Amino acid sequence: MEIIRFAMRGLTTNKLRTTLTTLGIAIGVASVIILIAVGNGSSKQIQASIDKLGTNTITINSTRGGFGRRTAASGSSSKPLTVSDAVALSSPINAPDIKQAAPITSASGTCTVGTSTTTPGTFYGTWPSWFEASNTTIQKGTYFTNDDVVQGRHVAVIGATTATDLFGTDNPIGQVMRCSGIPFTIIGETSVKGSNGFQDGDSLVVSPLTAVQRSLTGYNSLSSIVVEAKSAKVQDLAQTEINTIMDAQHRIKSVAKRDYRTLNQASLLATSNSNSSVFTVLLGVVAAISLLVGGIGITNIMLVTVIERTREIGIRKAIGAPKAAILSQFLIEATILSLVGGGIGVLFGYIGSNFKIIGIQPVIVPASVLLAFGVSVLIGLFFGSYPASRAASLRPIEALRYE
Amino acid sequence: MAVVLAAAVDETVVDQLSLTTDVNPVIDVRGAIKRYGEGDASIFALAGVDLKIMPGEYVAIMGPSGSGKSTLMNIIGALDIMTKGEYFLDGIEINSMDESALAVVRGRKIGFIFQSFNLIARTTALANVELPMAYQGIKKDERRRRALKALEVVGLAGRVNHEPTELSGGQQQRVAVARALATRPALLLADEPTGALDSKSTADLLDLFDQINAAGRTVVVITHEDDVAARAKRVVRMRDGKIISDSLNEGRAA
């Protein structure tokens, strides 16, 4: 107890130096907490935007073309994805866990209205069920209907980016745009989706499947089929049903010879999470270095303190202070520095995490708070122990002679 | 024992010692040699010193600078270890002790008074006096009581909460005396205690030493000032690492 009082007195003797050292540790701890929170926040943000794309959806792509050719060459008959596949997947009997399926044909091209042009990142021909399967809603106008698909009407729903590019602030509903020369009447505008980190979800043109196939992509094959499971829970069951139905449709005998592949949001999430955890670790390392620098600051200050107080140490030893008492006094001083610094750092961390940083809302990871605080205290002990042992092993006769 | 001492010690002292052989000496230094450096370049700070001080004595150790008196003081004070020889402090063999055991011995057996006071800065007189007792693990209430008593003895009862910078040199030195006394040491060891004091403070301090010695405490003063040595009952003179005379002080010795 007495030693703690000695240590406190040692610290309060030079307040400016104590404050600066504490600040060094505080900045280290705060930056660990905030940077890890930024990393975590960005990962949460990516996850949220992937959630927006629809969490229950499974996308089926053909593996024909590219390396898929080789599968065909090796003897099996490789078939493209067709509308009949989508119809089969929509069967409530064979696929009880699938809510709906939507065939997609993907077109590309530039859309123009007068002198304004835009190249939509996504240009789909599909069924109305696509909207629900892909979690896309309309903020202005209407969806197209099954009747539009049957009739092959040249109508389109566009995304916010496309609307702004073509019409600025004007209302696009009822206007006509030409995509690769083909006229489409705009009947709806989708709600803002934002970016999923890879592409702008609002650079979008969606039209009835038949209209796009007839005028742009042809009837031969689909680009993909989007399937919506009844809930996230039955996604695995839905996946199994997809495989069963698709294997039957394409007469596939073994898994290795499948001419299609499925991609669900879960695997997308996993990929993006692993990306953002790399990001988080990098930020954490940068922050940890600043914590280390703070620790070296403690060593430096404690060494100066020991030299400055050489005479005092000599007096204490002359009047009977054992080595352990001197050692613990200086260790406690270093630990108090890092404890207080760590505490202030945690406070700064919590305050700092309330502000958006480079457009990311930080989300504090509780473990990082404990880690940063714990490490700062350990650093105090570790970096404080060298100056403390120097102080403790000073010979009283030399320390007393020191001026 | 008498044979060893005879070479350097005055006859009267030997007589006195022989009368008190049943009492353990506070200080018993035998054949002390302290050498600095190696080989041809080595210097003997102490070249074979024998010194015995009995309880209740008031001894002044005198000598010019370089005579070895400071080295002797460091050895007596358990601050330094001799190269060769034996040292018993209050019956305890000191020379073979390690640093942490020496710290304990210093704390319990010796009250130091230094030329430059050596109080802890920015710390009140009371806390300074309590400090050695804190290191001995004496309880807070007991410590406070003894510290206040010691400060009263040195005449500073009204200044217990003053820090060193708020006290005059004489007052600071009296705080140091209180600090030395509070642990009830076997020996009060003062190294040039008046070196930094004016004549008035010097007189006050020497009166205080008389008073402390009269109460039965052993006092050893290292000094080069004749008027300080004149107050002691026994004067040991050193030169070139050796004791050249050891005599009772006429008129002072009881």
**ipTM value of the model?**
0.81
Give contacts of A 280-319 with B, CB under 8 A. 311-312, 314-319
Is the Cβ pair A322, B132 closer than 8 Å?
A: no
Confidence of residue A65 (pLDDT cuts 50, 70, 90): low
Taking CA atoms, what residue in A is nearest to B118? A315
Q: Tens digit of pLDDT per residue, chain B (254 long)?
A: 333 333 334 444 444 444 445 578 999 999 999 988 887 888 888 999 999 999 999 999 999 888 888 889 889 988 888 889 999 998 889 888 888 888 888 888 999 998 888 898 888 999 999 999 988 888 999 999 999 999 998 889 899 999 999 999 999 999 999 999 998 898 999 998 988 889 999 999 999 999 999 989 999 999 988 888 999 999 999 999 999 999 988 766 55
Interface test with B, best of A308, A311, A319, A394 (most B CBs within 10 A): A319
> CB contact, 8 Å: B190 with chain A?
no
Residue A59: closest CA among A110, A106, A113: A106
Chain A closest-CA separation from residue B33 CA (Å): 18
What is the model's pLDDT at position A116? 87
Give contacts of A 349-368 with B, CB under 8 A. none
> CB contact, 8 Å: A13 with chain B?
yes
Residue A388 predicted with pLDDT over 80: yes
**Beta-carbon contacts of residue A325 (< 8 Å; ≥ 6 apart):** A3, A316, B135
**Beta-carbon contacts of residue A88 (< 8 Å; ≥ 6 apart):** A94, A245, A248, A249
Residue A315: closest CA among B198, B132, B93: B132
Residue pair B53/B219 in contact (Cβ under 8 Å)? The answer is no
CB neighbours of residue A104 within 10 Å: 25
Weakest mean pLDDT among A55-69, A273-287, A339-353, A380-394: A55-69
Residue pair B224/B63 in contact (Cβ under 8 Å)? The answer is yes
Domains annotated for chain B, with CATH where assigned, are: 55-80+98-248 (3.40.50.300)
How far apart, in Å, are the Cα atoms of A97 and each of A133, A134, A266, A268? 13, 17, 17, 21
Residue B120: closest CA among A241, A34, A2, A298: A2
What is the model's pLDDT at position A93? 85
Residues of B in contact with A9 (CB under 8 A): 122-123
- How far, in Å, CA of A261 to CA of A240, rounded? 12
Q: What is the pLDDT of residues A194-244, one digit of tens each?
A: 765 567 778 889 999 999 988 888 887 788 898 888 877 787 888 888 888
**Beta-carbon contacts of residue B234 (< 8 Å; ≥ 6 apart):** B13, B57, B58, B59, B60, B246, B247, B248, B249, B253
- How far, in Å, CA of A187 to CA of A171, rounded? 11
What is the model's pLDDT at position B207? 92
What is the model's pLDDT at position B242? 92
Weakest mean pLDDT among A119-133, A235-249, A282-296, B45-59: A282-296
- How far, in Å, CA of B92 to CA of B248, rounded? 26
What is the model's pLDDT at position A79? 79
Q: Tokens representing B252?
A: 């002072």
Residue pair A30/A348 in contact (Cβ under 8 Å)? The answer is yes
Longest pairwise C-alpha distance within chain B:
56
Residue A120: closest CA among A170, A157, A161, A169: A161
Residue A147 predicted with pLDDT over 80: yes
Nearest to A321 among B77, B103, B119 (CB): B103
Is the Cβ pair A315, B118 closer than 8 Å?
A: yes
Cα-to-chain-centroid distance, residue B186: 10
**R_g over Cα of chain B:** 18
Is the Cβ pair A397, B108 closer than 8 Å?
A: no
What is the model's pLDDT at position B17? 47
Residue A58: closest CA among A15, A89, A32: A89
> CB contact, 8 Å: B120 with chain A?
yes
Residue pair B222/B73 in contact (Cβ under 8 Å)? The answer is yes
Cα-to-chain-centroid distance, residue A294: 29
Residue pair A81/A224 in contact (Cβ under 8 Å)? The answer is yes
Locate tokens 């993909």: which residue? A224
Where do runs of H (alpha helix) occur along B29-168? 69-76, 99-109, 125-135, 140-153
Residue B69: closest CA among B195, B206, B183: B195
Confidence of residue A126 (pLDDT cuts 50, 70, 90): very high
Q: What is the mean pLDDT of chain A?
A: 82
Chain A closest-CA separation from residue B10 CA (Å): 32
What is the model's pLDDT at position A403? 64
**Beta-carbon contacts of residue A147 (< 8 Å; ≥ 6 apart):** none
How far apart, in Å, are the Cα atoms of B42 and each of A21, A227, B82, B151? 46, 96, 14, 45
Locate tokens 């406190």: which residue? A8
What is the model's pLDDT at position B162? 93
What is the model's pLDDT at position B9? 41
What is the model's pLDDT at position A53? 61
- How far, in Å, CA of A260 to CA of A101, rounded? 15
Q: A353-361: which pairs have CB atoms within 8 A and are 24 or more residues apart?
A: A353/A33, A353/A34, A353/A37, A357/A34, A357/A38, A358/A38, A360/A38, A360/A41, A360/A42, A360/A45, A361/A41, A361/A45
CB neighbours of residue A265 within 10 Å: 19
Nearest to A322 among B74, B118, B135 (CB): B135
The CA angle A302-A306-A312, to the nearest 5 degrees, is: 140
What is the model's pLDDT at position A279? 77
Weakest mean pLDDT among A64-78, A128-142, A155-169, A315-329: A64-78
Residue A72 predicted with pLDDT over 60: no
